Structure 1
Amino acid sequence: MKKSFLIVAASLFTCFTAGTVFAQTQDTVHKTTTTTTTTTTTTPALDVATILTANPDYSTAATAVKTAGLDVTLKGVGPYTVFAPNNVAFSKLPAGDLDNLMKDPTKLATLLKGHVVTGHYTKAEIIKALTAGKGKATLTTLDGQVLTLSVSPNKTLQLTNAAGRSAEVVLYDMVGTNGVVNGINGVLK
């Protein structure tokens, strides 16, 4: 185990060092051969509501957030962590449930607030919380409910709401300017 760790660490160090040397070489050549000014265009950073809209696997969640009027909150200062059900998770709801929710923005907003917590929880931060809690951590959702985090029998992160509904995190760390979106495989209804 230690030998594998050392090999990985040495490989990462070598890659980092080589990249740094390559970058320095490029900078030196660039500085001595170019006298023109260049403008770098950067992609604007996205808030958590826009991250949902930008990812096609979360288009149903994005539509639901907008329909419920929660997009205004999720574009705010934050930080927020959204545990967003993917499109497959929404498709697993009983027939007609999603349509009924979309017709009732108040009920939809309550459901969605159960997927959002105040704070910034990337995978690394969740692992720290689980370690500190000896395998369990609790977070409070925007609607004031408790969301329990634990490791599932499949060795994945499992979320369980106050009603006992569970889902597993399937995608981590879609980081935005005001928080993070982690994708889940179920709707915590």
Structure 2
Amino acid sequence: MNLSIRSTILTAAIGAVVMSGAAFAGHHEDKKNIVETAAGNPDFSTLVAAVQAAGLVDTLSGEGPFTVFAPTNAAFEKLPAGTVDSLLLPENRDQLVSVLTYHVVAGEVTAEQVVTLDSATTVNGQDVTISVDGETVKINDATVTTADIKASNGVIHVIDTVILPQ
């Protein structure tokens, strides 16, 4: 598909995704950093608890910029029973860090830039696959439900599934 047509499709898709994200009102506010933005939304309480348990608050509150594919509480609930509790245990911190850093890309990648990408390298060192199919934007098997929530140190894209590294 040529870039112009793909760009038009993606622009329409992103518009639909952003409009469907009315629950994330104020998502253009960028005075708060990524952690503060996530902590201010109850749909991210599991993610915030995981970031705290992994010791990543200072990193994700830092200068950045970062792109975070942020799973909601409902996304975490899709994991097998006991997975989140197990990951939050101190002895599983390395595994938790691996999972969380797989949701982060160094630099700011806006929805508009997704058009040019088939993949992105995460902070954990592994790539995620990016695909666009009609109005659906996917990161691996996760669907982006809200795009471009601006923060002072990057951008958050809300996803409906926790993505797991290899």
TM-score by structure 2 length?
0.76
- Residue 158 of structure 2 corresponds to which residue in structure 1? 183
Determine which of 54, 71, 76 is the counterpart of 1:90.
76
1:122 lines up with 2:110 in the alignment: yes
Which one scores higher on RCO, CA 8 angstroms, separation ≥ 6?
2
Q: How big is the shift at 1:63? A: 1.0
Deviations 1:2-43 (A, max 9, x none): xxxxxxxxxxxxxxxxxxxxxxxxxxxxxxxxxxxxxxxxx8
Determine which of 127, 140, 146 is the counterpart of 2:127.
146
- Corresponding residue SS for 1:57: helix
**Which of these two proteins has the greater Rg computed from alpha carbons?**
1
- Residue 51 of structure 1 corresponds to which residue in structure 2? 37
RMSD: 1.6
Query: What is the rounded CA distance, in whole Å, between the counterparts of 1:155 and 1:181 in structure 2?
Result: 19
Q: Write the mapping of 1:17-96 to structure 2, written as runs, cut at 5 A.
A: 45-96=31-82
- Corresponding residue SS for 2:59: helix
Deviations 1:123-159 (A, max 9, x none): 22223x24xxxxxx2111001001110014x631111
Deviations 1:64-85 (A, max 9, x none): 1111011111111111000011
TM-score by structure 1 length?
0.67
Q: How big is the shift at 1:121? A: 1.5
Query: What is the rounded CA distance, in whole Å, between the counterparts of 1:138 and 1:84 in structure 2?
Result: 17
Matched-pair contact (CA < 8 Å) for 2:119–2:129: yes
Q: How big is the shift at 1:92? A: 0.8
**Alpha carbons of 1:148 and 1:44: their partners in 2 closer, same or farther (altered >3 Å)?**
closer
Number of equivalent positions:
134
Give me the identity figure in percent.
Answer: 40
Q: How big is the shift at 1:44? A: 7.9
Letter in 1 for 2:163: L
